[in-house]
A and B are shown apart, each in its own frame.
Chain A
Amino acid sequence: QQQVKQSPQSLIVQKGGIPIINCAYENTAFDYFPWYQQFPGKGPALLIAIRPDVSEKKEGRFTISFNKSAKQFSLHIMDSQPGDSATYFCAASISQGGSQGNLIFGKGTKLSVKP
């Protein structure tokens, strides 16, 4: 199983700070990179996603930066709020072939935003 490596494992920031979560992948066949947010007791929910033909995508306070040559992508949360406290997972998948759509997840980053 191809890996997606995520760091850091946990992150504490003050309200208004900009937490950054990084992910690296190995399989160059990956062509879809979503980020999921999970609150305690809930299932993961899609936050934002990017394809490798763009280097950055913004949705509200959330930005994905993508570096295809380095095989890395990251999530930035602008003006973070206590309500953003959750576990964030990066993931990757392949759009072609028998494994299409199956998400390979990073191990997760537990974010805590202090008021």
Chain B
Amino acid sequence: DSGVTQTPKHLITATGQRVTLRCSPRSGDLSVYWYQQSLDQGLQFLIQYYNGEERAKGNILERFSAQQFPDLHSELNLSSLELGDSALYFCASSVVADSYNEQFFGPGTRLTVL
């Protein structure tokens, strides 16, 4: 158990809908990262937050947004969902936003868009 929790574990929804994925980082970790894992694209970095502020963006679609709250939990919002958004979404956390700090991954949320 990495100490990172993600809810829900599974999510099934329809095209055009909006969903929210939640992540609680390890106790004491200030940095949260979101990654998308799909069969064709592999593991891709989406967005990073550090202590409530957005730090970096990767391959995140404009339909997707995220935030980190004062208690350091984070939410990833996916809207106008398309079939291609079906994937595993992982949250990871680290102590600080530093390359050399290990990122601990949560168990993921499996999103299925029908």
Contact = CB atoms under 8 A, between A and B. Distances in A.
Interface stretch (A56-64, A78-86, A97-105): A97-105
10 tightest Cβ-Cβ pairs between the two chains A and B: A43-B105, A95-B99, A105-B43, A32-B99, A107-B42, A93-B99, A102-B45, A46-B102, A44-B105, A101-B99
Sorting the interface of chain A by its residue count into under 10, 10 to 19, 20 to 34 or 35 or more gives 20 to 34
21 contacts: A1-B44, A32-B99, A42-B107, A42-B108, A43-B107, A43-B108, A45-B104, A46-B103, A93-B99, A94-B99, A95-B98, A95-B99, A96-B99, A100-B97, A101-B31, A101-B48, A101-B98, A102-B56, A103-B43, A104-B45, A107-B42
Interface of B: 2, 4, 31, 33, 35, 42-45, 48, 55-56, 58-59, 90, 92, 94, 97-108
Given A43-B107, A102-B45, A102-B48, A1 B58 contact: yes
B69 to A, nearest CB: 20
Interface of A: 1, 31-32, 34, 36, 41-46, 49, 51, 89, 93-96, 98-108
A95 B114 CA distance: 39
Contacts of B100: 32, 51, 95
A6 B102 CA distance: 21
A95 B98 CA distance: 6
